[in-house]
Amino acid sequence: MWWGIFDMVCLTALDKKRNPIPKILSPIRSFEAGIRVIKAGADQIYCGVTIPEIKNFVLYRGSAHEVPTYEELERIVKYAHSNSVEVVVTINQPHMTHLIEKPIQNHIRSCVDKGVDALIVGDFGVLSVIKNMPVKVPLYASTYMASLNCEAVDFLRKQGFNRVILERNLTIPEISKIVQHSNIELEVFIHGGGCSNINSSCYLYHYSFPEKEHFALLMKENICSPCTIHYEVYNLDKTGEKLESIPIMDALQYCSLCKLPELVKAGVTGFKIEGRGNPIEYQESTTRAYRELLDLLSQDRMEKFKEKLELYRRNLIAMPSTIWSLKEFLCEQKRCYYSPFLHTPYRFPLSWQASTKSKFKAWITKSMANKIRSSGQTI
């Protein structure tokens, strides 16, 4: 039944008038990562770069998620351009005060001087800074601009953006409608960390924990932000009984491998993989998976596409530092990007195999934490 529906989608998506295959935009945070994701098939790579004057100014990401120096960025750009790959730099810092305006200006100037091909901008204050500078570089509107409809996209186009990265909380029919009624490049997320909130409305910054509590949570549940914590849910109408402990904000991993034919048909320009702070191996393997599947779609090799898709579902690691496959942790919980609203993944319990692996991982991480404590180290 499932494959029958899938075949119908594929035949519809890949007809004679099919759209071009979107470009893959892959995350990196080092020169080595740049080499490996380019060899894995990325069309574009994106990264943040540490701003020397405000490197400890952390809201959405920290310096561990960024290319450390402009010199390394220059190496990345030269290698990428020699392989016909574009480099995009994120400028997502909010323009909160005049005290950081000059450092941000210097940062933008330095990145452009190193030859980057575009900037991802997530704040209108930063956009105004760029417009007042003598730089000519394409601008991509970040998902922090919360673009959810045609009107928002058209407004951003009029502000000077060349591409808009759509909000995660859309369905594929909604994406297709925006594409049909917009005269600008559009990009969507296809893999990586999700967000149960509208990005521009989120104040749960990624490093808001004290260091000790953050490390303890990271060791216990691979948690790095408040929206991935398991919250205790109680019934206040009766006896106050505890119902369950669930990640009710649900900002966990999501995947789009099975939805690639539909997303290609939607007509977007780019597919963005989330994960600038993830290990190189993850950035590389995820890029390769999407590259191989998109190449098979472009060649109309549907049987081979289905075989390769099932292979990745069984064997590709779901997220960094885990032992779960996509099938165990994402497919069984229906963690698909662009699913209908209220399609809450935690309503679908893990299988026995995945649950056993989860308990084993929890035991391993707890043992590691105990070993660190017994050695006298602080956490």
Q: What is the CATH number of the domain that holds 164?
A: 3.20.20.380
Structure tokens of 68? 């450390």
- Our count of domains for the chain comes to 2
99 lies in the same domain as 169: yes
Inform me whether the pLDDT recorded for 355 exceeds 60.
yes
* Residue 367: predicted pLDDT: 66
**Cα dist. 282→29, 30, 33, 98, 233 in Å?**
12, 14, 10, 38, 33
* Residue 195: predicted pLDDT: 72
pLDDT by residue (tens digit) across 123-139? 898 999 999 999 889 99
359 lies in the same domain as 341: no
Chain centroid offset of residue 166 CA: 12
How far apart are the C-alpha atoms of 296 and 308, rounded to whole Å? Answer: 9
- Higher pLDDT: 323 or 16? It is 323
Give the chain as a 3 state SS string.
CHHHHHHHHHHHHCCCCCCCCCEEEEECCCHHHHHHHHHHCCCEEEEEECCHHHCCCCCCCCHHHEECCHHHHHHHHHHHHHCCCEEEEEECCCCCCHHHHHHHHHHHHHHHHCCCCEEEECCHHHHHHHHCCCCCCCEEECHHHCCCCHHHHHHHHHCCCCEEECCCCCCHHHHHHHHHCCCCEEEEEEEEECCCCCHHHCCCCCCCCCHHHHHHHHHHHCCCCHHHCCEEEECCCCCCCEEEEECCCCCCEEECHHHHHHHHHHCCCEEEECCCCCCHHHHHHHHHHHHHHHHHHHCCCHHHHHHHHHHHHHHCECCCCCCCEHHHHHHCCCCECCCCCCCCHHHCCCCHHHHHHHHHHHHHHHHHHHHHHHCCCCC
Q: Which of 291, 343, 334, 338 is nearest to 312 (CA)?
A: 291
pLDDT by residue (tens digit) across 19-31? 789 999 999 999 9
How far apart are the C-alpha atoms of 29 and 76, rounded to whole Å? Answer: 10
pLDDT by residue (tens digit) across 152-187? 999 999 999 999 999 988 899 999 999 999 999 999
* Residue 11: predicted pLDDT: 43
Inform me whether the pLDDT recorded for 318 exceeds 90.
no
Percent of the chain with pLDDT over 70: 73
Inform me whether the pLDDT recorded for 342 exceeds 50.
no
Domain extent for 160: 2-202+250-345
136 lies in the same domain as 82: yes
367 lies in the same domain as 331: no
Q: What angle do CA 302, 305, 306 make, to 5 degrees?
A: 90
38 lies in the same domain as 133: yes
* Residue 278: predicted pLDDT: 86
* Residue 379: predicted pLDDT: 43
Inform me whether the pLDDT recorded for 1 exceeds 50.
no
Q: What is the pTM (predicted TM-score) of this model?
A: 0.84
129 lies in the same domain as 237: no
How far apart are the C-alpha atoms of 254 and 193, rounded to whole Å? Answer: 6
The mean pLDDT value for 266-287 works out to 93
- Higher pLDDT: 304 or 355? It is 304
Q: Which residues pair with 336 in a beta bridge?
A: 255
* Residue 378: predicted pLDDT: 47
174 lies in the same domain as 193: yes
185 lies in the same domain as 295: yes
Least confident among 85-89, 95-99, 324-328:
95-99
- Higher pLDDT: 214 or 356? It is 356
Other Cβ atoms closer than 10 A to 232: 10
pLDDT by residue (tens digit) across 218-233? 545 555 566 767 778 8
How far apart are the C-alpha atoms of 282 and 191, rounded to whole Å? Answer: 11
Strands 118-121 and 139-141: parallel
Average pLDDT value over all residues in the chain: 82
* Residue 234: predicted pLDDT: 87
171 lies in the same domain as 314: yes
Whether 129 contacts 112, CB under 8 Å: no
171 lies in the same domain as 209: no
Confidence of residue 8 (pLDDT cuts 50, 70, 90): very low
The conformational region for residue 115 under phi > 0 = left, psi -120 to 50 = alpha, else beta, is left
- Higher pLDDT: 369 or 26? It is 26
**Cα dist. 257→6, 292, 306 in Å?**
12, 11, 10
How far apart are the C-alpha atoms of 134 and 258, rounded to whole Å? Answer: 44
Inform me whether the pLDDT recorded for 216 exceeds 70.
no
- Higher pLDDT: 205 or 41? It is 41
Confidence of residue 316 (pLDDT cuts 50, 70, 90): confident
At 299, give phi and psi (nearest 5°): -95, 5
* Residue 88: predicted pLDDT: 98
How far apart are the C-alpha atoms of 279 and 290, rounded to whole Å? Answer: 17
Inform me whether the pLDDT recorded for 7 exceeds 70.
no
- Segment of 202-206, 349-353, 366-370 carrying the highest mean pLDDT: 349-353
Confidence of residue 18 (pLDDT cuts 50, 70, 90): low
Q: What are the residues whose beta carbons fall under 8 Å from the beta carbon of 280, sequence distance 6 or more?
A: 30, 32, 33, 36
309 lies in the same domain as 259: yes
25 lies in the same domain as 70: yes
Confidence of residue 149 (pLDDT cuts 50, 70, 90): very high
Least confident among 16-20, 234-238, 306-310:
16-20
